[in-house]
Structure 1
Amino acid sequence: MKFFKLLFLIAFISPFLSAQNAKKTDQQTLTWIRYYNILPITEKFAIHSEFDNRSFLNPIHENLFVIRVQGRFRANKNIDLGGGFAYFNVNTQDPNIDPDFSIPEYRAQQDITLINDISKITFHNRFQLEERLFQKASKTELLDNFSFAYRFRYRLQSTFDLWKKENRSLKGTISDEVLFNFGKENKRNTFDQNRFYLALRYHFNSNLGLELGYLKSFQRRTSGVDFYDRDIFRLTLYHKINRKTTK
């Protein structure tokens, strides 16, 4: 518990301390629209895939889109393991700039999630490691070389039922996540960002749910002294494919 408290202290204090020394902080508003699919293979193993489109609202402009696939294994009641791959296609991080090219990022990820139920609230402690490969670019074109970075993420999330009847339910989610970069090319922005999230998810049945959430992201840019302060509204359609599984 002391480790978790330390991480949260860093997560909450780091953005405010960094902001005091920031040369420039850009406030942005975005929408993330996501489709999340779960395909059970066995009782303990499933394939999770998602398609996520992210756009700026003022002015309206494409930010990026994501395709992610991962395998998830429920080792036991309290431990969930995951590993997968994601492709990011980044159009721009500034809605006022419209380049003639998009920057690709290829990302591998692995995580372990510890799950505990306390007083009808489910807590998820997720520890995730990412290996990120970016294609470099100038202001006018993509270059023929790449950069590599590691990133560590810790997220504490709580979910709870607000209403439930037969297969229908309304759930609430509260989470906070802190992200750190490390590696020889990440000396100026070890602290990457903090994400605080609130959401409501309505399940039409056990296989289909719709979630609307608000995410507050405070992110250090690669310069090490500039920041993004982002208000993000996320809409997610969750779809679990109903099929018989075997052990």
Structure 2
Amino acid sequence: MKKSFKLFLFTLLFAYQFSAGQNQKKIDHQTLTWIRYYNVLPLTEKWALHSEFDNRSFVNPIHENLFVIRIQGRYRTSKIIELGGGFAYFNVNTQNPDADPDYSIPEYRTQQDITFINDIAKITFHNRFQLEERFIQKADKNGLLDEFSFAYRFRYRLQSTFTLWEKEQNSLKGTISDEILFNYGKDNKRNTFDQNRIYAALRYHFTPNLGLELGYLKNFQRRASGVDFYDRDIIRFTVYHRINRKF
């Protein structure tokens, strides 16, 4: 627990110091909603298939930001270690709600992660280390180009989940997390630091296999220029659905 707590404090401190040092930069403040459906399909006692559909939109003005489809296989090697690997497709309409281009930019992404899980008292801690390979189609003001940029992205997330209330099959759970992301690649030399995400949410389970989550995400992200930033307030709504299977 001490190690997890120290890592959590470190990421919070890093994010604060970094953002504080950018006061002279141009920062665009945006408000968004993320609406997501997350499905878990157990294949065996240790293997499961996770899929999600995520639509992200700006609030003022109302405008599509992007759409995500993600699928991954997950393998529980032991009580405390889980491995994952998968693929995601992003369809990015615009990063500026006042701009409405005639095209959307596709991104194809593969990912791999290792997650360490620790139950301490009544709190479950997840330490996730994730690597992504990102293939983003290039574009200019006239449209898409026949070439792609490539970059690696490393993500570290510390998340805690805890039960606030439980009765029979119903429960109310809380989640707090902090995630920091870094880019690496020839097209990302000016934004090695990508973003920091702080998240807090409540999830109500109607049954152990069906839950609704409402959360708030604070997202501070460096733009590709390496000079300007996005400061985003995000309301996230998620439907969690686990297909019940017995082995």
Whether the TM-score (by the shorter chain) exceeds 0.5 is yes
Runs ≥4 residues deviating over 6 A = none
- 1:10 is displaced (CA, Å) by 2.6
For residues 128 and 102 of structure 1, the distance between their equivalents in structure 2, rounded to whole angstroms, comes to: 26
Partner of 2:176: 174
Amino acid at match of 1:167: Q
Q: Contact 1:99–1:140 (CA<8 Å) still a contact in 2?
A: no
> Where do 5+ consecutive residues of structure 1 fail to align?
none
Q: CA RMSD in A?
A: 1.3
For residues 128 and 8 of structure 1, the distance between their equivalents in structure 2, rounded to whole angstroms, comes to: 18
Q: Contact 2:11–2:178 (CA<8 Å) still a contact in 1?
A: no
Paired positions, count: 243
Q: Contact 2:203–2:211 (CA<8 Å) still a contact in 1?
A: yes
1:107 has 2:109 as partner:
yes
Partner of 2:218: 216
Partner of 1:203: 205
Matches within 5 A, 1:65-80: 65-80=67-82
Counterpart selection for 1:16 from 15, 20, 23: 20
- 1:16 is displaced (CA, Å) by 2.1
Q: Contact 1:151–1:181 (CA<8 Å) still a contact in 2?
A: yes
Partner of 1:30: 32
> Where do 5+ consecutive residues of structure 2 fail to align?
none
Partner of 2:148: 146
For residues 46 and 117 of structure 1, the distance between their equivalents in structure 2, rounded to whole angstroms, comes to: 21
For residues 244 and 54 of structure 1, the distance between their equivalents in structure 2, rounded to whole angstroms, comes to: 34
TM-score, normalised with respect to structure 2? 0.95
Counterpart selection for 1:57 from 52, 56, 59: 59
For residues 169 and 47 of structure 2, the distance between their equivalents in structure 1, rounded to whole angstroms, comes to: 22
Amino acid at match of 2:145: L
For residues 11 and 161 of structure 2, the distance between their equivalents in structure 1, rounded to whole angstroms, comes to: 20
Partner of 2:246: 244
Partner of 1:39: 41
What is the identity percentage for the equivalent residue pairs of Structure 1 and Structure 2?
74
Q: Secondary structure at the match of 2:103?
A: coil
Q: Secondary structure at the match of 2:77?
A: strand
Q: Contact 2:11–2:179 (CA<8 Å) still a contact in 1?
A: no
